[in-house]
Structure 1
Amino acid sequence: MSNFFAKSAALMAAVAFVTTPALAGGTHSNADKPEIGAPGKAAHADRVIDVSLTDNAYSLDQLSVRDGETITFRLSNDGEFLHEFNVGTPKMHQAHQDEMMEMLDSGMMSMEKKPKGKGHADPNSILLEPGETAEFTWTFAKTESLEFACNVPGHYQSGMVGTVSFDGEVAPTGEAKS
């Protein structure tokens, strides 16, 4: 009888070992996400771009980068609401908008305050409360349909999104739109 329990315990341990990594990924699995780049080091940045985040716009609406280029964005939330600077594809932004709506609906965050705890810890994104400034450094990998966007509920839909192109030409540093 003890042999039966030993075999059962071994089988249960094997099932747990195989399924746990698959379940742990949840909706944040990287298996279906394209390679968009990675966090960079400010000391190795090729450029620094100042970006103002307002209600609901960025001070630049497009960005031209080279594959492998590292850019430090000096971000300033000059609006009255919480804003995000997130690098991703349209599909990634849609999925993140759904997550942000869940955080808002659950009371984990508000339109003015960041999520409590570690609710927003994506490496390709940064949230800024009104009046807050921060730096965000990213090394870009050539990807079709890459954007920077704010995924706070309703902000993307009201135009807080910009395009990233990989035409090899380096764009001038960010300046306010007129």
Structure 2
Amino acid sequence: MKHPFIAAALALFSLPVLADSSHGFAFGEPAPAAKATRTVEVVLKDISFEPKSLQVKAGETVRFVLINQGQLPHEFNLGDKAMHVEHQKQMIAMQGKLFTAGMNHEGMDHNQMAHGEHGHAGGNTVLLQPGQRGELTWTFRTSAPIEFACNVPGHYQAGMVGPLTIE
């Protein structure tokens, strides 16, 4: 039973970012933690976030401290609805490839996936195993309708998504 979780975690780390990291995202870009002007703790549960919504100011750099208190792997991903829909499709496709390749991951180019077009190089996503902590620091540029979500297959649809308002 542990092997599917490991395989799923590896699949999640290997998925497309949905943006060219050299250009960032319309709503902002990753930043070093030292630049943060505020820290916000977000708890990932099965199947919800606490808090349920987030508010930031345009120009603000926020350090998100993420704690997975759930029993499943969860993801904290910043993006608009369309980005989440695409990310979910890619996660499902990648998960299938990983499971069919077996635990030794034959035929998978992890270097390309980790650093090329199939990596989380955009810095807008953190995957956490149960009990794990992580961080994501982000500078928000302009007001935009975005969400924070878990795109592990089925989690977004089950309600693991919340609005992030940029004022």
Q: TM-score, normalised by structure 1?
A: 0.68
Percentage identity across aligned positions?
A: 41
For structure 2, the residue ranges without an aligned partner over 5 or more in a row are: 1-15, 100-108
Amino acid at match of 1:41: P
Which of structure 1's runs of 4+ aligned residues deviate more than 3 A? 26-30
- Residue 35 of structure 1 and its aligned partner are, at CA, apart by 0.6
Larger radius of gyration: 1
Which residue in the other structure is 2:47 paired with?
Answer: 56
Which of 10, 28, 35 is the matching residue for 2:26? 35
Q: Secondary structure at 1:107's aligned position in 2?
A: helix
Which residue of 2 is the match for residue 6 of structure 1?
none
CA contact (8 A) 1:34 1:143 kept: no
Alignment deviations for residues 47-87 of structure 1 (CA, whole Å, 9 cap, x no partner) = 10111111111111111111111110111111111100011
SS at match of 1:106: helix
Please say if residues 18 and 86 of structure 2, whose CA atoms lie closer than 8 Å, have aligned partners that are also in contact.
no
Quick one: structure 1 residues 27 and 160, their matched pair in 2 at CA, closer, same or farther if it must change by over 3 Å?
closer
Higher relative contact order (CA 8 A, sep 6+): 2
Q: 3-state SS of the aligned residue for 2:86? A: helix
Please state if 1:96 is matched with 2:87.
yes
Q: Which residue of 1 aligns with 2:141?
A: 141
Q: Secondary structure at the match of 1:139?
A: strand
How many Å separate the matches in 2 of 1:128 and 1:76?
8
Q: In the aligned structure 1, how far is the partner of 2:67 from the partner of 2:56?
A: 21
- Matched residue count: 133
